[in-house]
Amino acid sequence: MKISHTAAFIAVKLYGLTRKPAFAAKFDPFILNFYQNIVQSLPSYLRWYGTALKSSFIRSLFILSEELFLPGDLMHILCRKYFVGKEVRELIDSGFEQIVNLGAGFDHLGAYYSQKGIPVFELDRQSMIGEKNGFLNQHEYLNANLHFVACDLEFERSGEALRAHPEFDPKKKTVFIAEGLFDYLDLLPSERVVEDILSMNAKNKLVTTFFSIDELNYLYRAVFRGGIAMVGETLKFKITRDEFVELLEELGLELEVQIDHQQMKKEFVEKSSSKLPVMKGFYVQLYGIKA
């Protein structure tokens, strides 16, 4: 099974953490059920997490070990899903007509919004799309509004791939989602993603995450990079938050909303009666196209 192990472990961690009622209450039951089904559908060498994390004792051990080596990593998983989802929901509620999820992985947003009647286009490598499609079909998440577009964003243009799809309308107001995408792309393909967003409706929005690894101390930087290397992936976009914002602004996007770890702690963690930290350097951002 050729899957993104980063995507798989995000699903595992979210599933384990939302076994806590205070965290579960922050998410729609559809979302909780979605990630439970994903964990149960992973390859056998990963599927055991689903059984193990049902135990509160084992969950406590996992949390203790994670926080020992990289404090805040677990909570940043919950916060990225919660705050990305919040920004997307507000845009859809304000009249946006379709969603493009760039490098969708095992994310739930496509299944969630397509069953509400919103056209959603998930872009990913063909191998990942095959695995995701099989999972969605098995659990009856597939519907006429959910579309898959095979596109390796490192080498191919998202705009060309989308325009080739008969159901995609570049004139519609579109929410583009790039959750955890830019960290794994080089500069040139990142610029191409932004250029393709700009080439369509002038009211398009980009909801993205960005991890400014320079905000971690040396030890935690090494642990973070090591963890990613262990699952066969590499951080490529090695710039700071300020440099990232400046780059996107030079390309034609304007930062409208930025949620940092302190705001996440205040609005999500503390309201969940948790004392777990949120990792520094992690941001959820909303960009619009400059007039």
Q: Per-10-residue mean pLDDT for the chain, 291 residues long?
A: 74 93 96 94 80 88 88 93 98 98 95 98 94 92 97 96 97 97 91 97 97 89 74 72 96 98 95 92 97 87
175 bridge partner residues = 99, 205
In this prediction, residue 53 carries a pLDDT of: 87
In this prediction, residue 142 carries a pLDDT of: 96
- In angstroms, the Cα distances linking 209 to 83, 85, 166 are 10, 12, 29
State how far the Cα of 185 lies from the Cα of 200, in Å rounded to an integer: 22
Query: Which backbone phi and psi does 146 adopt, to 5 degrees?
Result: -105, 120
In this prediction, residue 6 carries a pLDDT of: 81
C-beta separation of 4 from 255 below 8 A: no
C-beta separation of 174 from 97 below 8 A: yes
Domain regions of the chain by residue span: 71-289
| Residues in CB range of 207: below 8 A, 6 or more apart | 84, 87, 88, 91, 175, 176, 177, 178, 179, 284, 285, 286
| Residues in CB range of 244: below 8 A, 6 or more apart | 182, 210, 212, 237
In this prediction, residue 184 carries a pLDDT of: 86
In this prediction, residue 1 carries a pLDDT of: 44
Q: In the 3-class helix/strand/coil scheme, how is 43-79 assigned residue by residue?
A: CHHHHHHHHHCCCHHHHHHHHHHHHHHCCCHHHHHHH
In this prediction, residue 49 carries a pLDDT of: 81
Half-sphere exposure at residue 218, Cβ-oriented, CA atoms within 13 angstroms: 0
The CATH code of the domain at 71-289 is: 3.40.50.150
C-beta separation of 196 from 225 below 8 A: no
The pair of structure tokens assigned to 146 is 């959910």
This prediction's pTM: 0.93
In this prediction, residue 232 carries a pLDDT of: 65
